[in-house]
Amino acid sequence: MRARTIRLRPGADLGGFRAAIRHLAQANVPPEAVTWVEGDAASLFPEEASAAAPALALPRAVAALVSPVVMHRDPERYGLLHRLVWRVLQGERHLAEVASDPLVHRLSLMRKAVGRDLHKMHAFLRFRRAGAGEGGRERFAAWFEPEHHILAEAAPFFAARFPSFDWSILTPDGSAHWDGSSLSFGPPGRREDVPEVDAFEAGWTDYYSSTFNPARTNLAAMRAEMPKKYWHNLPETAAIPGLVREAGRRVGQMIARAPEPPVKRVPARALAAMAAQEPASLAALNAIIRASEPLVPGATQAVLGEGPLGAALAFVGEQPGDQEDLQGRPFVGPAGQLLSRALREAGIDRDRAYLTNAVKHFKFEVRGKRRLHRTPTAGEVAHYRWWLERELAFVAPRVVVALGATAALALSGRPVPITRARGPASFGDRPYRGFITVHPSYLLRLPDEARSEAYAGFLDDLRRAAVSAAVLASEAVPAAAGPVQDREDAC
Q: Are residues 409 and 457 in the same domain?
A: yes
Q: How far apart are the first and last CA of the chain?
A: 76
Residue 272 lies in a domain: no
Q: Are residues 99 and 138 in the same domain?
A: no
What confidence score (pLDDT) does residue 223 get? 75
What confidence score (pLDDT) does residue 96 get? 93
Q: Are residues 285 and 427 in the same domain?
A: yes
Residue 262 lies in a domain: no
Q: Are residues 298 and 415 in the same domain?
A: yes
Residue 107 lies in a domain: yes
Amino acid occupying residue 484: V
Beta strands (DSSP E) in 133-216 are: 138-143, 166-170, 175-178, 183-186
Q: Are residues 342 and 455 in the same domain?
A: yes
Q: Are residues 178 and 71 in the same domain?
A: no
| pTM: predicted TM-score of the whole model, two decimal places | 0.50
Q: Are residues 135 and 114 in the same domain?
A: no
Lowest mean pLDDT among 141-155, 293-307, 372-386, 428-442: 293-307
Closest CA to 399 of 348, 439, 339: 348
317-358: per-residue pLDDT in tens? Answer: 999 999 999 999 999 999 999 999 999 999 999 999 999 999
Q: Are residues 358 and 452 in the same domain?
A: yes
Q: Are residues 378 and 451 in the same domain?
A: yes
Burial of 462 (0-12, 13-18, 19+ CB in 10 A): buried
Q: Are residues 282 and 161 in the same domain?
A: no
What confidence score (pLDDT) does residue 44 get? 52
Torsion sign across C-alpha atoms 390, 391, 393, 399? negative
Query: Is residue 48 helix, strand or coil?
Result: helix
What confidence score (pLDDT) does residue 180 get? 86
Given a cut of 70, whether residue 7 has pLDDT beyond it is yes
Q: What is the mean pLDDT of the chain?
A: 86
Q: Are residues 446 and 313 in the same domain?
A: yes
Q: Are residues 54 and 97 in the same domain?
A: yes
Lowest mean pLDDT among 58-67, 282-291, 397-406: 282-291
Residue 488 lies in a domain: no
Residue ranges of alpha helices (H) inside 295-433 are 322-327, 334-345, 378-395, 405-412, 418-421
Lowest mean pLDDT among 43-47, 97-101, 201-205, 362-366: 43-47
Given a cut of 90, whether residue 119 has pLDDT beyond it is yes
- CB-based contacts of 352, cutoff 8 Å, min separation 6: 307, 308, 311, 312, 313
Burial of 47 (0-12, 13-18, 19+ CB in 10 A): exposed
Query: Domain boundary residue among 193, 213, 236?
Result: 193
Burial of 463 (0-12, 13-18, 19+ CB in 10 A): middle
Q: What domain range is 465 assigned to?
A: 278-474
Query: Domain boundary residue among 162, 193, 224?
Result: 193
Count up the domains in the chain and report the number.
4
CB 435 within 8 A of CB 412: no
Average pLDDT on 417-427 reads 92
Average pLDDT on 161-179 reads 92
Tell me which of 265 and 26 has the higher pLDDT: 26
Torsion sign across C-alpha atoms 485, 488, 490, 491? negative
Phi-psi region of 76 (alpha: psi -120 to 50; beta: other; left: phi over 0): alpha
What confidence score (pLDDT) does residue 177 get? 95
Residue 9 lies in a domain: yes
